[in-house]
Amino acid sequence: MRKQLMKGNDALMKSAILSGCRAFYGYPITPASEIVETAALYMPRIGGVFLQAESEVAAINMLYGAAAAGVRCMTASSGPGMSLMQEGMSYLAGAELPCVIADITRSGPGLGNIAAEQSDYNQVVKGGGHGNYRTIVLAPHSVQEMVDLTALAFELADRYRNPVVLLADGFIGQMMEPVEFPSEATEPYLPRWAVAGTAAARGNLINSLHLDCDEMEGHSRALEAKYRIADQREARAEEWRTDDAEIVLVGYGIVGRILKAVTAEARAEGIPVGVLRPITLYPFPSSKIRNLVNHARVFAAVEMSNGQMVDDVRLALNGARPVEFLGRGGGNVPSHEEVMRLVRELASNFLAPRARETEHVAHV
C-alpha cells in the first residue's frame, strides 16, 4: 500500500482495526482523544462496536466483558485516566484476558498538564494495580511504529492471554509522519477459551477469584511462569551504532530520536557513542544492555521524567558500569544541546584516562 501522511493516534487506531480489533470502549482525554474519535468514525463502518464510556473505570470493565467474549478489543487514555484503570487492568491480567490499552502520556502528577511526558513508566511497567501481575509494554518512537507495534500488541495479547500496553508519549501520538499499513487485514476469530454463549463454550469460565489460598498461590505462580517465558522470548530493543560504543545512551519513545541525532554529532567529533532504545519496556531488554559491557565504559539514561526507566538500566547492569541520568519534566523535553553537553562531560570523565594511557604507552 502507498504511504499515507497521518497523526500517530489516527495511525494507531487504523492499525488496530486492520489487526482485527472489533470493539473499542474509551473516554476522551488529551493527548489521546484522536484515538477515540477515529474509533468512533471507523468502528461502525466495519460492523464493530464503539462506545464512549461514562468514565475510564467503566471503559476498562467493558473491556473485560468484550475480551471474555473473545473479541479483540482496546481502549486508550492518558495518565489520569490510566490511574483510574489500574484496578481493571489487574482484573484483566488475573483473568488472563487479552486486550490492548494505549497510553498516550502527559505530564503529572495529578492533572499535571497536557504536554508530553514519560512519567507513566512505573505505573504501567511495574503494574499499578494490586496483586502479582505484569502487563507487556511496547514503546513506539515513530508513527510507523504506532502501526507496527499496535499489530504486535494484539498478537502478544493473544499469545500470552494478557493485557498489552502501548506506551507512547504525547509527541508520538500528536506528530504526523508518512506511514505504510499492511496490505492484508487480520480476520477476527473466536478463541476456544472464550465465553461465547455457544454450546461449545458452555464449560468455559473466566475468573480471577480463588478463595482457597493454595489455589490462589498456584494461579499466581502460573502467571509468573508465563511472564518468565515472555522475558526470554519477547524483549526487543533497537541498537544504533553500539558495536564500538564506549558511551551508550538509553532512551525510549521520542527521546530515542533525540539520542540518535546527538550520537551522529558526537561521532563527528570522534566520541564513540551509541544508542540502545528499548522497544519493550516489559519485558525490559536487560540482556541486550549487559551485552554492551565489554566495550562500553559508561551508560546514560535519558528520560522525560524525574527518573524511572533509569532504575531498570541500573538493575540490568548490576554495578558493572556507572549509569548517569538526564531527565526533564513538566512537559519539557531533553534538548539536543543538553544531551550533547552530557556526552562531552562523560567523554571527559570516562574516556580521557584511556587516551592518556594510550599516549603514555606510545611514548614509552
- Interacting residues of 318 by C-beta distance below 8 A, sequence separation 6+: none
| Domains in the chain, CATH or no CATH each | 4-234 (3.40.50.970), 237-363 (3.40.50.920)
Strand partners, 323: 299
Q: What pLDDT, on a 0 to 100 scale, did the predictor assign at position 1?
A: 63
Comparing CA positions, the residue from 307, 235, 226, 241 lying closest to residue 272 is 241
Amino acid letter, 140: P
* Angstrom distances, CA of residue 125 to CA of 136, 190, 271: 8, 29, 33
> Could you give phi then psi for residue 308, rounded to 5 degrees?
-130, -55
**183 burial type by CB count under 10 A (0-12 exposed, 13-18 middle, 19+ buried):** exposed
Helix or strand (DSSP H, E) at 281: strand 280-282
* Share of the chain residues as helix, strand and coil, in percent rounded to the nearest 5: 45, 20, 40
Cβ burial, residue 269 (10 Å; 0-12/13-18/19+): exposed
CA distance 266 to 270: 6
pTM attached to this predicted model: 0.94
* CB neighbourhood size of 273 (10 A): 28
Q: Which residues of the chain have pLDDT under 70?
A: 1, 352-364
pLDDT tens-digit series, residues 173-198 = 999 999 999 999 999 999 999 999 88
CA–CA distance, 313 with 276 (Å, rounded to integer): 11
Identify the pLDDT of residue 353. Answer: 58
Distance, CA of 53 to CA of 85 (rounded, Å): 12
> Would you state the pLDDT for residue 359?
38
Q: Where are the alpha helices (DSSP H) in 101-253?
A: 121-125, 143-160, 170-174, 213-234
pLDDT at 2: 81
